[in-house]
């Protein structure tokens, strides 16, 4: 399983607009991806309600993971999106 630990770069955390950006980016990968707070249960990263339910704030650490073949590159791009608080997924998915 590929995994990336990142610090949430959006000051408001994974709430409202940033969560929507993140969920769309995950869906665009076409891969099953989970997100969790360290030590917490992973949730479907393509589900807006699940991502909002994490309550991850700016500066909090989250764990992105996928057991899909070739997920490493997609997780790298998703990690960059979350860590840098970008408005869109970097690179081609």
| Catalytic residue numbers, as ranges | 15
- Exposure letters 15-50 (e unless 16+ CB within 10 A, then b): beebbebbbebbebbebebbbbeeeeebbebbeeeb
């Amino acid at each position: 399983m590929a995994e990336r630990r990142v610090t949430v770069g959006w000051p408001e955390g994974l709430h409202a607009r940033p969560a929507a950006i993140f969920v769309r980016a995950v869906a665009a990968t076409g891969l099953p991806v989970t997100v969790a707070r360290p030590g917490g249960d992973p949730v479907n990263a393509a589900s807006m309600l699940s991502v909002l339910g994490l309550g991850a704030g700016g500066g909090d650490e989250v764990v992105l993971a996928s057991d899909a073949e070739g997920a490493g590159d997609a997780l790298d791009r998703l990690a960059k999106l979350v860590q840098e608080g970008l408005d869109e997924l970097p690179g081609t998915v």
